[in-house]
Structure 1
Amino acid sequence: MKFSSLKFLRIVFCLVLPLVLLAGCLGQKSPAEQIYDVMEKAVAAEKKFEEQQGPLVELEKKEKELFDQIVEMGQKEFDQVEKLSNEALKLVDKRKEHIALEKESLDESRKQFGAAADHLKEIKDPKLKEKAELLVATMEKRYLAHEKLYKEYMIAIENDQKLYTLLKTKDVNLKDLEGQITSVNGSYTNVLEANKQFNELTEKYNQEKLAFFKLAGLDGKNES
């Protein structure tokens, strides 16, 4: 039983929080400073998201190693294939736990970032307001991109579960098996595309954030 598999390499860019020492602590903060506070809370909420990346990559790696072993064995060593498939299913369950924590973290970040829209209305400078609106719009697209990534990843996990269940079936129909492998590969292609979009929007947001602070006159305070 020889077939190709698709290795999913997770690469996620996290938000970069500038080290800003805000002025005006004794008085009313400017709208730009208030937006900074919102972003600080949003980034803090994503800590749990960042913590999931390492474990997820490790689990994906281990699962890929088990799958490769199963491929080499084929149905002639069914007992061992069944054992390895059960181990792989346990890894899939662990991935589900981590991806759930990741989504929970992004949902909290989105909730915190929602307050930025209120402070937008208080910005009087047209150019600064335009930068801020662009920043908020990009962040919202980023959250939507993660929603898509999450959905595609869950579809991929479901296909993985179906594949390992099939592999545990004695005298499995080869056509059914090949069809499920095709589904797995297709789902991870979608995951990679969604992951790429999420990373690109994260990078774009970080760039726009720096441009916003520069225009707001806060860039000189980004020194540690």
Structure 2
Amino acid sequence: MYFKKYPFILIVFMLTVGLIGCSDKPNDPTEKMYTILENVVSKEKTFENQQDPLVALEKKEKNLYNQILKLGMKEYGQIVKLADEALASAEKRKELFETETASLKESENEFRKVADLKEDFANPELGQLANELYQIMENRYRAHDELYRQYTKAINHDKELYGMFKNKDIPLEDLKNQVKKVNDAHQKVYTENEKFNKYTEQYNDKKLLFYKKAGLDPAK
């Protein structure tokens, strides 16, 4: 049996950058847009902070799984200990991912302010870019919704497998079937993660283009 683990590494927003050439008119749509976009970055700081711990826990569980496979039933006590450690790790991953998702929801609530602003630009090119940014971000949030569903399922399958290791009488066929479920679940997570990353990259590029076209040059 081989338990495939796909590193859960997400591409996150560009860090907030200082800008020069920003309008001093508080009601200017460009100024409002800038404020919203940078607030979104701030809202996702918690999201960003979950990435390294999530990856570390996934690597830990893969190591625990490999250790379990090397043990025979004569070392059942050690198998139970490792399985319990893996279960605790999976539960911690679930908590971190819930925290990450909550951060994305805060980001989404902030970004929705763009909906009332994107038609206010006198410059049609900026208006078009604002519309494109909005659509890309909508796609990104929906991609994370699906990622959340698939990742939650994957964690549940992981925990089921770890629990099965603690059953001395579990049929080998049952273990094989569960490993297949785990592999399939993680493949779906990988696929959805790639979609999320793609939209994040598109957003970062489009945001930078908007700033340049608006005369908001990133400070060096």
**TM norm structure 2:** 0.95
Deviation readout 1:36-82 (Å, 9 max, x if unpaired): 10011111000100111111111111111110000111434222111
1:188 paired residue number:
186
1:6 paired residue number:
4
Q: Following TM superposition, by how much is the alpha carbon of 1:22 offset from its aligned partner in structure 2, in angstroms? A: 5.2
- Which moved further from structure 2: 166-175 or 123-132? 123-132
* 1: CA distance, partners of 2:198 / 2:12: 11
Deviation readout 1:85-118 (Å, 9 max, x if unpaired): 1111011111111001000100000001110111
| 1:40 pairs with 2:22 | no
* 2: CA distance, partners of 1:98 / 1:142: 20
Count of matched residue positions in the alignment of Structure 1 and Structure 2: 219
2:52 paired residue number:
54
| 1:138 pairs with 2:136 | yes
1:117 paired residue number:
115
* 1: CA distance, partners of 2:163 / 2:23: 61
| 1:103 pairs with 2:101 | yes
- What one-letter code is carried by the residue in structure 2 that aligns with 1:146? H
- Which moved further from structure 2: 66-75 or 172-181? 66-75
Secondary structure, counterpart of 1:115 in structure 2? helix
* 2: CA distance, partners of 1:131 / 1:199: 20
**Contact 1:82/1:168, CA 8 A, preserved across alignment:** yes
1:20 paired residue number:
19
**Contact 2:118/2:130, CA 8 A, preserved across alignment:** yes
Listed as ranges, the gaps of 5+ residues in structure 2 are none
Secondary structure, counterpart of 2:60 in structure 1? helix
Q: Following TM superposition, by how much is the alpha carbon of 1:29 offset from its aligned partner in structure 2, in angstroms? A: 4.0
1:152 paired residue number:
150
- What one-letter code is carried by the residue in structure 2 that aligns with 1:147? D
**Contact 1:146/1:198, CA 8 A, preserved across alignment:** yes
- What one-letter code is carried by the residue in structure 2 that aligns with 1:24? S
**Contact 1:43/1:109, CA 8 A, preserved across alignment:** yes
| 1:69 pairs with 2:67 | yes
* 1: CA distance, partners of 2:21 / 2:143: 31
- Which moved further from structure 2: 76-85 or 98-107? 76-85
- What one-letter code is carried by the residue in structure 2 that aligns with 1:20? L
- What one-letter code is carried by the residue in structure 2 that aligns with 1:223? A
Q: Following TM superposition, by how much is the alpha carbon of 1:33 offset from its aligned partner in structure 2, in angstroms? A: 1.7
Would the alpha carbon gap of residues 159 and 8 (structure 1) be closer, same or farther in structure 2, given more than 3 Å must change?
same
- What one-letter code is carried by the residue in structure 1 that aligns with 2:184? G
2:87 paired residue number:
89
1:176 paired residue number:
174
| 1:223 pairs with 2:219 | yes
* 2: CA distance, partners of 1:173 / 1:127: 64
- What one-letter code is carried by the residue in structure 2 that aligns with 1:19? G
Q: Following TM superposition, by how much is the alpha carbon of 1:121 offset from its aligned partner in structure 2, in angstroms? A: 2.1
Secondary structure, counterpart of 2:117 in structure 1? helix
- What one-letter code is carried by the residue in structure 2 that aligns with 1:32? T
**TM norm structure 1:** 0.93
1:211 paired residue number:
209
